[in-house]
Amino acid sequence: MRKKEQDKLDRWLRSDDRKPLVLRGARQVGKTWLVRDLAARHKLDLVELNLERNPRLAQHFESNDPRQILENLEAEFSRRFSSSRSLLFLDEIQATPELLGTLRWFMEELPSLAVIAAGSLLDFALQKHEFSMPVGRITYAYIEPVSFLGFLQASGNTPLYEHLSNATMDNPPATSLHDKCLQFYFEYSLVGGMPAVVAKWFTTRDFSECLKLQQDLLTTYQDDFSKYSKKADVRLLVKIIDSAARQLGNKFVASRVEAGVRAAEIKSALSLLASARVLSFVRHTSGNGIPMGAESNDKFYKILFLDTGLVSALLHLSQLNINEVKAQLFKSKGPLAEQFVGQQLRAALSQLEDPALFYWQRTDGRQGEIDYLIQHGNKIVPIEVKSGASGAMKSLHQFMHDKNLDLAIRCDLNPMSISNIKVKTTTGKAVCYKLFSVPLYLAERIPDILQRAILK
């Protein structure tokens, strides 16, 4: 269920100018598994150091001499390592972040040795580092939870996975499979993409068993909050997590977290949670051009969670009956659909960079919002999310007119289709544009679908 990430690591391993690789991502998204899997598939001798569990091992890196370090590790583990047939893995490196500064020596003096570092709170640790980062000597990969297509892979339905992976606007998925895909979408919305929870679902098919794991994960994240306690109140961080789940899909309002707490303090705490990748910001943009962050209003932002399954656990959806849950998921303005699409977009964009998402909202008090704006080439493409099969698109029509754009995407419960929109805005202005209707379960494929359509 991690084929995209596996392929990315394979390309890194085979690269002629390979640099030490740093995996960044939240706790329990599967970073350690991916490294162990890479070593096993390529028959590499894995030298794994868990620096959170055993920080003493960091002493072996004091010499800054890669060959001496390797000799030290041979003595530590009582076995010989061939630099060309070994993989050095520094797990939980946030416990000893100064080791990041030593990675440059491996690229410069021992490039034959594959080196990977990973850390669940690495972004948080890097904010306060006092060592020289090896700029240009290391590379990064960003690991998100299992995507919807990965979830489909894990189900064992490889033909359906391949069918959806190859879909284009000219070659859409068979409509006869639409209901089956929607059932998987419903399952994913509750189970989410945390690897342990996905594995439990396809082993037991029991939502209550998945909920236990999700609650354990949420508790683990709360336990991690103590590591931020010098900068933020742990109790406040817990309240923010709960409030963010209830404000999902809307502009985040700090006053709804707790009365009497300054907005600046809440924004600072949110930034810490974003550094731990428990949640992320969907930032406002004017949508006038590239780069989208250049004209952002910092007072307007939404919050996206790491995982839709964890959101469902926070909102107690797993405790409802099936019909009640579907009503929550499929109502026309459901925030869970927006969470799902944002999560899938992050999974797609993380293959290239640290994913950043944007949205548009009027800032003058009038109604008007576009759920997501993404950059494709030198163009901005708006994405409207509808968790039902229908819904008005007045804001989209006005936006397309005002920004003079010719292509938009609607994600909803309908099968894939193309429409040529010719309407008038609420102010009576004529607007024409092409609309790609993409079913919610294909949100991850949006960048690829756009690329194939434009190449055509």
Question: Containing H/E element for 421?
Answer: strand 417-424
Q: So what's the pLDDT on residue 131?
A: 58
Q: What percent of the chain has pLDDT over 70?
A: 93
- Better pLDDT: 131 or 60: 60
- Tell me the pLDDT band of 377, cut-offs 50, 70 and 90: confident
Structure confidence by residue, pLDDT tens digits, 181-238: 999 999 999 999 999 999 999 999 999 999 999 999 999 999 888 877 777 788 999 9
Q: Which pTM was predicted? A: 0.92
Q: So what's the pLDDT on residue 63?
A: 84
Q: Is the dihedral of CA 454, 375, 282, 232 positive or negative?
A: positive
What is the arithmetic mean of pLDDT over 428-439? 95
Domains of the chain with bracketed CATH: 3-142 (3.40.50.300), 148-455 (no CATH)
pLDDT at 127 over 80: no
Radius of gyration of the chain (CA): 23
Say if residue 42 is exposed, middle or buried (CB neighbours under 10 Å; 0-12, 13-18, 19+): middle
Q: So what's the pLDDT on residue 329?
A: 67
Q: So what's the pLDDT on residue 390?
A: 62
Average pLDDT, the chain: 90
Give the Cα separation of 153 and 394 in Å (integer).
37
Structure confidence by residue, pLDDT tens digits, 261-300: 999 999 999 998 998 899 999 999 999 988 888 888 888 9
Give the Cα separation of 336 and 443 in Å (integer).
13
Report the SS3 class of residue 311.
helix
Say if residue 267 is exposed, middle or buried (CB neighbours under 10 Å; 0-12, 13-18, 19+): middle
Residue with tokens 């570092």: 117
- For residue 283, the tally of other CB atoms under 10 A from its CB is 18
- Tell me the pLDDT band of 330, cut-offs 50, 70 and 90: low
Q: Please give the distance of CA 134 from its chain centroid, rounded to a whole number.
A: 25
pLDDT at 319 over 90: no
Q: What percent of the chain has pLDDT over 90?
A: 70
Sorted by sequence, the CB contacts under 8 Å of residue 223 that are 6+ apart come out as none
Residue with tokens 């004529």: 430
Q: So what's the pLDDT on residue 332?
A: 46
Q: For the chain, first and last CA: distance in Å?
A: 30
